[in-house]
Structure 1
């Protein structure tokens, strides 16, 4: 079996995300009796080399993988030819006569060079079993996600409270998008088990919020203004979990257009969060749940959510929620972790799309005006239902992101009773879990802000 160790979703990582992923570029070849890691030796510390040796791994240079694959392909060919020569009447009748039985399993995301090295007929292409295995988190990893998101919520509360005060005060100059992102990183760096960012912070104000994967430059990024919507998509790597959260704020007085768009995005977010579905359902099917509220206003959606790794890549497959055909090949299972977030497209401006993949992250992007997204991390869990049609068992989501959703941007007249209750219950949970941890920092400004933003509507 051959697989890559950098990321399952090869090609999905933007350049700024590559710089923040925890894993390294490598290939691995695993046989019934051997395991070989092909990696740049300079990336391995003496301790890592010793651990690999103790675990039974051989280490070879990254550049040698093609040569080794050619050798492996030749061995497979020889073994298959020997087996065909010894076929007799007692052979497995289900196997077509003369067909080679021995093959190398290669990941469907691997390169054409690998196929050429192994030789035609000597490999079988399939999704990596490694990706499938790590998509389902164990109990310790799931608990780590819960705890890391509570701590992350502390940093977010301190940051947004600080930003709001700075924008409302007389201090000049105001923060640029880049400066604000640095403040958020500083607050995160004070948290226990923090190891770095999970991707470069998308700190965007006004029309920049509608730009695909916007990343503010150190020089020349826009000044954040209280009269404009501010979208912040950020995350951190903790030893016990990876976070990815987007919240949209208005520090002045939002327009009716902004409030309506925000509320529709919120409704899509709630629809995914509260979904109950039979075991075996795919994210491709669930995607329609997120679209309904935005369709009601004639808006399209580009994507909904992506898988998330545990102290690994913030974008991790194969699970996801969206219209990608690949998402229809992966059944959601208990223990998977995804983002809940919709990425809608204004029907009058199809250029303004932001690709998101299972994080719950609904969004709306008005070209040249503003961007809106609400993104949280959800865990797939078993749920109890009055019935169990087909004896399949039913699943739902557990939201672990602990950061308020700004009610000032909500149009309450668009919410039904269940949606209003969801929002109030969510904020009560944020106060309950984040409040005590925030109190440890003695940040009264953030404490007041958190209580106000979590007030019931």
Structure 2
């Protein structure tokens, strides 16, 4: 990976910090988070401030620059990437490692007495702000809001904000009209006795208004805020985007405002009335409401509705995953034919998988940058190939492909790890251990209806972390409301991914990922009438048999695998035949033949 020389940028940023043009006092440190004004995971190019100033391009991390030091905090997914991208100006802080200090602890250690630390309040969540503020004040320091983002002052060629066309999602796909969704939110507000709800998350706004766009790569969302009142709805957006068709879709029930007018609106209309705010909202938004009127919640009312899919959305997700499976079967069939020729690289493989998806009906875009990794690059968990790092896919190495698509009916995210030669016994054991934790580990809630240990009852919350995250319906491959170990109840309609993995630095990576739908389950005993649920895999892509060490599988696990492959054969095989892909159909039959 190419290393960016940040020497001049960091020096100029320190000059801006000293000038105190955008703060009341000179700053001894500046915090640069990996977020935008909506705390999005994926950002428009002009919001990639942390990547610009540090050179580290991973999606998660926080940079801190003092007058003499610069440090970057990121999690285990990005340790290797950060080590390869950061230049000598930066110190990598590995989050989750016991000896790594938190940002606030580090600042309190390195700062001189009575220092001022600055951060753009639009880019910092309210919960993070309060935690940092309290920690700094305890040691005699101050956390100050900057009136302008200081990185923007040194980013002389910063791109402008996008303004893509808005797309209407029809009711047959969404399952509910915009007005019906608004009414549901207003009913939740009534139950909580709140007058206003402020919506800052872009995926929630897109879902609420049944609109999509392409402002952010891989995410069909648009830059906007929404404020829902008991008897009014307000959308803050670049008004040039509201065409007559969009206006008709929104109806007169939605009042349109300029995007930048949201905070003045909140201060004038909502500041002294009980207002529902997500704790993930920015400090700039939250501080516009007087503290005694804030109804703070980790989840907004919209996030708690939209993560549980209705019947139309579930059918759409099934359709999207089936289309995606066709594309992936064509891709892996092509890889098996071409990799032995020695001409396929990580980049060309990623491009080919994209081309197969493009040929599927309703395909809109990828849902994230394809992770196409061979051998050692597979150990970089969120590695994506580029011309500088591109390498040939070798028949003697493990190949990992994590990819997904945005379709007009749903979003997909599937990972398969394969070998185009003969995997070693050690690799097979590693793969099989991951497989047992992954889909096969779900047997306890998927398979047998005769054993009491199988389904889980209503009121069960997410407890075990195998890398799970929820998947949206033509919005995003990672919805923020649910993460494993969160306080969200598992119940019918929830779609999550299950994606455990094993990674050996410099050698290989293994990950198996399926999208799972939570469904109602019948049990032989009623247990006082409690409702039980189970998971069903939406992703129907074969698991490579030659990567499996069969001696490690139980009879029950092997039966599950054979049943899963039969479903792949029946559902995806039928679609391949209808599409005329007979050679891929023959490949699928071979890949899914029963394992004895």
TM-score, normalization: structure 2?
0.61
Contact 2:408 2:474 in 1 (8 A): yes
Contact 2:235 2:255 in 1 (8 A): yes
Indicate how the Cα distance of structure 1 residues 168 and 444 shifts in structure 2: closer, same or farther if over 3 A, else same: farther
2: CA distance, partners of 1:182 / 1:422: 33
Between 1:265-274 and 1:204-213, the stretch displaced more is 265-274
Contact 2:236 2:259 in 1 (8 A): yes
2:456 counterpart of 1:277: yes
1: CA distance, partners of 2:412 / 2:275: 36
RMSD across aligned positions (CA)? 2.0
Indicate the residue corresponding to 1:30 in structure 2: 228
Pairing 1:216-365 to 2, within 5 Å after superposition? 216-269=385-438, 270-272=440-442, 274-275=444-445, 276-284=455-463, 286-287=464-465, 303-321=466-484, 323=485, 327=486, 329-338=487-496, 359-365=497-503
Structure 1 residue runs of 5 or longer lacking an equivalent are: 10-16, 77-101, 288-302, 339-358
Contact 2:522 2:532 in 1 (8 A): yes
Contact 1:309 1:315 in 2 (8 A): yes
Which of these residues, 132, 137, 149, is aligned with residue 309 of structure 2? 137
Alpha-carbon shift at residue 24 of structure 1 (Å): 1.6
TM-score, normalization: structure 1?
0.79
Contact 1:8 1:317 in 2 (8 A): no
Which of these residues, 230, 237, 250, is aligned with residue 39 of structure 1? 237
Runs of 4+ aligned structure 1 residues displaced above 3 Å come to 42-46
Indicate how the Cα distance of structure 1 residues 450 and 437 shifts in structure 2: closer, same or farther if over 3 A, else same: same
Contact 1:5 1:24 in 2 (8 A): no
Alpha-carbon shift at residue 46 of structure 1 (Å): 4.1
1: CA distance, partners of 2:482 / 2:586: 38
1: CA distance, partners of 2:279 / 2:528: 33
Between 1:219-228 and 1:126-135, the stretch displaced more is 219-228
Which of these residues, 324, 328, 337, is aligned with residue 165 of structure 1? 337
2:308 counterpart of 1:175: no
Indicate the residue corresponding to 2:24 in structure 1: none
2: CA distance, partners of 1:42 / 1:263: 54
Indicate the residue corresponding to 1:89 in structure 2: none
Indicate the residue corresponding to 2:280 in structure 1: 109
Alpha-carbon shift at residue 45 of structure 1 (Å): 4.2
2:504 counterpart of 1:366: yes
Provide, for residues 170-214 of structure 1, a one-character-per-residue CA deviation record: whole Å limited to 9, x for no partner. Answer: xx5x12111111111111111111111111111111111111311
Determine helix, strand or coil for the equivalent of 1:391.
coil
Provide, for residues 216-235 of structure 1, a one-character-per-residue CA deviation record: whole Å limited to 9, x for no partner. Answer: 11454111111111100011
1: CA distance, partners of 2:306 / 2:227: 18
Indicate the residue corresponding to 1:156 in structure 2: 328
Higher relative contact order (CA 8 A, sep 6+): 1
2: CA distance, partners of 1:26 / 1:58: 13
Pairing 1:202-217 to 2, within 5 Å after superposition? 202-217=371-386
2: CA distance, partners of 1:272 / 1:399: 10
